[in-house]
């Protein structure tokens, strides 16, 4: 499982004309499932997301998690995180999990992040989404449960 996490001052997801997910201060995370991801992969990503120390304390040092900073988490499903362009210009998505299983994993991730006590909003699975974000810093962290990077 992969995630691209960004510290944001505000972020929202719109599908059609409706805002389907919105947070103020917090973490925007694009999340993709890889074939053969397990409960361990999901737990790794959930734990990292809620415990990343990328929010500033009162001294301006990045030492707080999203939970400690009182922020929300906006989770956005994005299979294109497994797009492979090493052999050409058109991405191959062979490593991305099949949609049905990916949806299950995404829903489980939402439940797990919520169990940690985070305020969670989401995008919509298999929908065309418009994601808006006021990225703070900018701070962007790449996560991979298989520790590819």
Is residue 108 part of the annotated active site? The answer reads no
Which stretch of DSSP H or E encloses residue 73? strand 72-77
Q: How far apart are CA 107 and CA 111, in angstroms?
A: 6
Burial of 32 (0-12, 13-18, 19+ CB in 10 A): buried
In sequence order, which residues have a C-beta less than 8 Å from that of residue 100 and are 6 or more positions away?
none
CA proximity to 57, closest of 48, 70, 46, 47? 70
Is residue 80 part of the annotated active site? The answer reads yes
CA proximity to 147, closest of 30, 28, 27, 48? 48
Is residue 125 part of the annotated active site? The answer reads no
Considering 6, 34, 55, 78, which one is annotated as catalytic? 78
Considering 55, 79, 82, 106, which one is annotated as catalytic? 79
Residues tagged active-site: 78-80
């Amino acid at each position: 499982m992969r995630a691209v996490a960004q510290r944001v001052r505000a972020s929202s997801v719109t599908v059609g004309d409706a805002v389907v997910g919105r947070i103020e201060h917090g973490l925007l995370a694009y999340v993709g499932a890889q074939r053969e991801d397990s409960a361990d992969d999901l737990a790794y990503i959930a734990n990292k997301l809620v415990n990343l120390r990328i929010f500033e304390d009162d001294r301006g040092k990045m030492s707080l998690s999203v939970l400690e900073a009182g922020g929300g988490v906006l989770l956005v499903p994005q299979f294109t995180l497994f797009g492979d362009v090493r052999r050409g210009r058109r991405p191959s998505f062979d490593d991305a999990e099949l949609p049905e299983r990916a949806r299950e994993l995404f829903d489980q991730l939402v439940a797990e992040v919520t169990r940690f006590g985070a305020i969670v909003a989401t995008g919509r699975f298999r929908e065309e989404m418009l994601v808006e974000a006021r990225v703070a810093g900018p701070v962007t962290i790449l996560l991979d449960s298989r520790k590819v990077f």
